[in-house]
Chains A and B, each alone.
Chain A
């Protein structure tokens, strides 16, 4: 099998571990909405969005209108618009429409995180590899959660859940090491994020929406104050094209 695809699979393993744990708890919500293991598996495989699915299943359970479901999906997943825009600059200019659609559909927070970290232009096979392993475990986790209810020990679930954060830390730190501006921006973002979680009124905003507000605000602020020297990115077109 393709080496880049396999590298994507390997880097996707920590994502998949975390997904399994998170999806397991999502399965408990899906069960209340009337999904069985099979429909939960399909639904999670097709959608792959933690906050989005959580909100959607709550709406299913309330017998809400289809329009309400659409609005919820768009608002909660607004950050994917930004990620997708970012992705457009990471793909080779001659990338075909079909590949763009496929890679676009692979964008979850985590798979986006490692894809954007890929050296030079993105080789789509890397993203496909990571999505294959993480998508299947995300769906399997949901199905298990629906089937099993609440049987994994709580300390195992919380330990697995931190796999995602470990991965985020790894991505941010390895990039920040090379760009001092990023260290400043990330530090400010963390302080603001913490303040947002404790301040009255602001803390009541749904966490997906808070993420969008903070991301746009802090990124715009630093793009203006400390424009990153992204021009250098043009010279390192060193992605593995085999």
Chain B
């Protein structure tokens, strides 16, 4: 079998991925009025982020470290800390817990 071009591989990957990102925002022109669809689209981002975080955060480290970090992150965010502080606290938390 002939050796395929790395350049074409990279181009195909970039093109296919970005088309998936662009088509809906380009094609949906109107404001969606349907209550179900609006609610659905409202839930989508938060549900996606949640299922990507849990239980993956436990697999990224050890389950105990992951759960502790999650709990600390939730408390900090609930108390109103922003993106960067919560992220840094989580990183420091994992780094310190791993030293134990």
Contacts and interface: CB of A to CB of B under 8 A. Distances in A.
B36 A166 contact: no
Interface string B85-97: 0111111111100
A25 to B, nearest CB: 11
Interface in A1-55: 10-11, 13-14, 17-18, 33-35, 39, 42-43, 46-49, 52-53
Contacts of A105: 18, 21-22
B49 A109 contact: yes
A136 interface: no
Contact of A100 (B13, B26, B91, B99): B26
A166 to B, nearest CB: 3
Nearest to A45: B14
A88 B53 contact: no
A197 interface: yes
Given A166-B73, A169-B53, A169-B70, A161 B60 contact: yes
B6 to A, nearest CB: 6
Contact of A193 (B14, B41, B55, B60): B55
Interface in A93-129: 93, 97, 100-101, 103-105, 107, 109, 112-114, 116
B87 A167 contact: yes
Interface string B2-30: 01101111101110111011111110110
A241 interface: no
B13 A169 contact: no
15 contacts: A46-B18, A47-B10, A56-B13, A60-B4, A69-B12, A77-B21, A93-B31, A162-B61, A163-B91, A165-B57, A165-B60, A172-B53, A222-B43, A223-B40, A227-B39
Interface of A: 10-11, 13-14, 17-18, 33-35, 39, 42-43, 46-49, 52-53, 56, 59-60, 63, 65-66, 69-70, 73-74, 77-89, 91, 93, 97, 100-101, 103-105, 107, 109, 112-114, 116, 155-156, 158-177, 182, 185-186, 189-190, 192-194, 197, 207, 210-211, 214-215, 218-220, 222-224, 226-228, 230
Interface of B: 1, 3-4, 6-10, 12-14, 16-18, 20-26, 28-29, 31-32, 35-57, 60-61, 69-70, 73-74, 76-78, 80-84, 86-95, 98-99
Given A104-B26, A166-B91, A222-B47, 12 more contacts: A14-B83, A47-B10, A56-B9, A60-B9, A65-B4, A83-B44, A88-B25, A166-B90, A167-B86, A169-B86, A174-B80, A218-B43
